[in-house]
Amino acid sequence: MTPQSAIIDVSHVSKTYRGVSIDRKESGIGLWIKSAFRLTSNRARTVRALDDVSFQIEAGEIFGIYGANGAGKTTLIKILSGLLLPESGSERVNGCTGIDEIKDQISYISTNGWMGLEWQLTVYENLMLYGHIFGIPTSELRRRCDSVLGLFGMVAGKDKHISELSAGMRQKVTLMRGFLLDRPILYLDEPTVSLDVQSSAALRQILVDAARRDGKTVIVTSHNPVDLSICRRIMLLYAGHVIALGCEAELASPLQGIKALRLTCANHQSGDGAADLVGGLLQLDVVRDVQVSEGNGRENTWRVDLLVHRDGHAASEIIDWFIARDMPIVRMRSAPLTLQELYAYHVDRTTVSGGLA
């Protein structure tokens, strides 16, 4: 992909939130209490939110951004939306470089957007108010309101006040507002927060249709790998750096010699339980990584997720290890690597190699 063919072209973008000195002129009992309990400091620390980030996105692509808390996802989306200015680097969005022009190209839907809803108004009135703010003519706005209400299954609730809605329904109103604008680019920041499984699946289908049928470009940031299952490519962010970018097969390509085993075993261990289990399994040459949690709804069981080398004897060696410790395996299966496991691998590879130095 060339920058000329990309609808979004980000080149060497960095963003730092500078530490600031805190005013110490406050006096009296309030300052004494803060100082006594160490509730103040003389400086907020500097944070490098993004560091030399470059990538391109094609028109009509569904593109995912995945990373841990503090990775820089929201900062990046806000820069792409024209809500923040980068410290350095450049961005071109649908041929535009000016902040006001960029804002006209996108519809930005935030996780916490429902907090900006007018609670004294109904769902329909909120949609109408939002549309009028953006200058949509009344007749066209009514048509769009009816369309998004049907799209998100909210026709029956259109006359309810926001205060009468569940958190999931409020999130739907936020999503509907984003679709009202009919912009060529949709940015969705953690879009399925508060949505149930069925509503989340319905939203993913809406986004697929928006890209395939309407030609919209969709960018999704999420902690939930399922939200990103519809994305053609996924960019992994860590500590403000792009550590990998590609389809899931490309992200997994360095781990072709590794497979995942998911098992549930009886928990008869004494001592430190999970820590002892992890430490013991990591002694096996076939085991690369281990994650242990309590069994799903089963008493006295552990759920064990292992990354093992693709060795024909790996499974039998692991079974023998559990049998020798009187920890019968209740269930075991082979499974694809999760996005979180791929992310952990790329983080480890980057930090061990000194790539973030």
- Over 80: is that where the pLDDT of 73 sits? yes
Per-residue pLDDT, 275: 87
Per-residue pLDDT, 258: 93
Q: Alpha-carbon distance 73 to 71, whole Å?
A: 6
- The percent of residues above 70 in pLDDT, for the chain, comes to 86
- Over 70: is that where the pLDDT of 4 sits? no
- Over 80: is that where the pLDDT of 242 sits? yes
Per-residue pLDDT, 124: 98
- Over 80: is that where the pLDDT of 335 sits? yes
Instruction: Report, as an integer, the average pLDDT of 266-288.
Output: 82
Instruction: Report, as an integer, the average pLDDT of 322-339.
Output: 91
Among 8-22, 75-89, 180-194, the range scoring the smallest mean pLDDT is 8-22
Per-residue pLDDT, 45: 77
Exposed/middle/buried for 166, CB within 10 Å: 0-12, 13-18, 19+? exposed
Per-residue pLDDT, 304: 94
Per-residue pLDDT, 260: 94
Cβ contact 12:90 at 8 Å: yes
- Over 90: is that where the pLDDT of 267 sits? no
pLDDT band at 235; cut points 50, 70, 90: very high
pLDDT band at 171; cut points 50, 70, 90: very high
- Over 90: is that where the pLDDT of 42 sits? no
Six token digits for residue 287: 């085991």
Other C-beta atoms closer than 10 Å to the C-beta of 224 total 16
Among 21-30, 176-185, 272-281, the range scoring the smallest mean pLDDT is 21-30
Per-residue pLDDT, 351: 86
Domains and CATH numbers, the chain: 3-19+51-251 (3.40.50.300), 255-352 (3.30.70.1340)
Coil, helix or strand for 62? strand
- Over 90: is that where the pLDDT of 164 sits? yes
Instruction: Report, as an integer, the average pLDDT of 197-206.
Output: 96
3-state secondary structure labels for all residues of 133-170: HCCCCHHHHHHHHHHHHHHCCCHHHCCCEHHHCCHHHH
What is the average pLDDT score of the chain?
88
Cβ contact 184:171 at 8 Å: no
Per-residue pLDDT, 276: 87
Cβ contact 112:99 at 8 Å: no
Q: Alpha-carbon distance 282 to 284, whole Å?
A: 5
Cβ contact 99:82 at 8 Å: yes
pLDDT band at 1; cut points 50, 70, 90: low
Per-residue pLDDT, 353: 66
The answer for residues whose C-beta is within 8 angstroms of residue 230's C-beta and 6 or more apart is: 62, 204, 207, 208, 220
- Over 70: is that where the pLDDT of 32 sits? no
29 to 5, 22, 24, 38, 39: CA distances (angstroms): 62, 18, 14, 14, 13
The answer for residues whose C-beta is within 8 angstroms of residue 330's C-beta and 6 or more apart is: 263, 264, 265, 266, 295, 298, 301
245 to 81, 253, 262, 292: CA distances (angstroms): 21, 12, 26, 28
Cβ contact 58:149 at 8 Å: no
Q: Alpha-carbon distance 188 to 110, whole Å?
A: 6
- The percent of residues above 90 in pLDDT, for the chain, comes to 69
Instruction: Report, as an integer, the average pLDDT of 6-23.
Output: 85
Which tens digit of pLDDT belongs to each residue from 83-129?
A: 899 999 999 999 999 999 999 999 998 876 556 899 999 999 999 99
Sign for the pseudo-dihedral over CA of 52, 240, 58, 150: negative
Per-residue pLDDT, 208: 97
Kindly report each contact of residues 206-215 with a partner whose C-beta sits within 8 Å and lies 24 or more positions away, as own/partner.
206/151, 206/152, 207/62, 208/62, 210/179, 210/186, 211/60, 211/61, 211/62, 212/60, 215/59, 215/60, 215/184
